[in-house]
Chains A and B, each alone.
Chain A
Amino acid sequence: MRSAVGTPQTGRSLHRFANPGQFLRLSGAVLPWLTAGAIALTALGLGWGLFFAPADWQQGDAVRIMYVHVPAAWLASSGYLALAVCSVLSLVWRHPLADLAAVEIGPVGAGFTALCLATGSLWGKPMWGAWWVWDARLTSVLVLFFLYLGHVALVRAFDDPTRGYRAGAILALVGVVNLPIIKFSVDWWNTLHQPASITLTGAPTMALSMLWPLLIAAIGYMLAFAAIVIARTRAAVLERRIRSLLMARAASDGGEAATSMLPQEGV
């Protein structure tokens, strides 16, 4: 019988999947397909949205910014959720890959949040007449961007990487409180930002001719996000292996020549 979540067996299963060698083999097989799917779907969704989807009766062609802005916004939040999940895996189960994955998600999530903020600003100027307003939705996404930047800085702020991972994981978990604020800000407060057009419980309030390219672009961006994070995590695993090999070699030689070849962690 399979064990329930939280039992020791769950932890053992997680560690089996977290074996770096197994991760490298599995991700090496998945990554080309993920990359190809990301390029194809993103190109299709953005091309459809830019050239073939209808203009909005109120906003005109400016609505086409939605096909970039909305997937970026979804990824900003879901990327942070992935960061928080990695933090739980790291703090509770000491998952060996969760720390590396969290470190690599941070900059990518910050990049997509910056994309969301920038495209929102480019959409806001022609529609609202302002590049920025201190609206609850915009402000909470800006806080999310700062949380990402804080995580990126914090995990690299310690000489002992393990302490940095722990501090980053705690920050990531504290920051999760911002996700429902982002989601429900348009319902809780009277905001300039429009409420959600797509919900899990109700029918979408946009035409299917707009919904399809939006969903395709969103799936394409999600695959791109996953491919980038997996590629970065693969690089981090290889760099860690290089570092430990060189350290072992330096220790056995008693010399310092090998330590000068240590790879720098990428940002």
Chain B
Amino acid sequence: MTHLPFIVASYALGVAIPIGFGLAAFLRMGRARRRLAAIDPRARRGGLA
């Protein structure tokens, strides 16, 4: 594998970028859900937060 560094770099980016976006999205969703539940208990009961 003479082109190993290029292949490894491509796969690292190919994994890191979606995981980065995914983690950021799920953390943001959890933060919003907790904040909504704190200010609106009805949302928690309705299963939306």
Whether A associates with B in a native complex is: yes
A interface residues with partner B (beta carbon < 8 Å): 21, 24-25, 28, 35, 38, 42, 46, 50, 60-62, 64-65, 67-69, 72, 107-108, 111-112, 114-115, 118-119, 122-123, 125-126, 221, 224-225, 227-228, 231-232, 234-235, 238-239, 241-242, 245-246, 249, 261, 263, 266
List of A residues within 8 angstroms of B26 by Cβ: 231
Q: Is the interface of B mostly helix, strand, loop or mixed?
A: helix
Residues in A whose Cβ lies below 8 Å from that of B14 = 46, 67-68, 72, 115, 119
- Distance of A225 Cα from B28 Cα, bound (Å): 16
Q: How far, in whole Å, are A17 and B3 apart by their CA atoms in the complex?
A: 49
Given contacts A24-B48, A67-B14, 6 further A-B contacts (CB under 8 A): A35-B22, A61-B7, A122-B6, A228-B22, A232-B25, A232-B28
Check if B10 sits within 8 Å of A65, measured CB to CB. Answer: yes
How many whole Å from B45's CB to the nearest CB in chain A?
13
Residues of B within 8 A of A72 (CB): 14
Identify the 8 closest CB pairs spanning chains A and B, nearest first.
A68-B14, A238-B32, A231-B25, A62-B3, A235-B29, A235-B28, A65-B10, A119-B10
Interface size on B, residues (CB 8 A): 33
Residues of B near A126 (CB, < 8 A) are 2-3, 6
- Distance in angstroms from A88 CB to nearest chain B CB is 24
Please measure, in the bound complex, the distance between the C-alpha atom of A118 and the C-alpha atom of B16, giving whole angstroms: 13
Contact A227 B22 (CB under 8 A): yes
B residues in contact (CB < 8 Å) with A: 1-4, 6-7, 9-11, 13-15, 17-18, 20-22, 24-26, 28-29, 31-33, 35-36, 39-40, 43, 47-49
> What is the interface of chain A mostly: helix, strand, loop, or mixed?
helix
| Residues of A close to B2: CB separation below 8 A | 60-61, 126
Q: What residues of chain A lie closer than 8 Å to B18, measured between beta carbons?
A: 38, 42, 221, 224-225, 228
Closest residue on chain B to residue A24 by CB atoms: B48
Which residues from B are CB-within-8-Å of A69?
Answer: 10
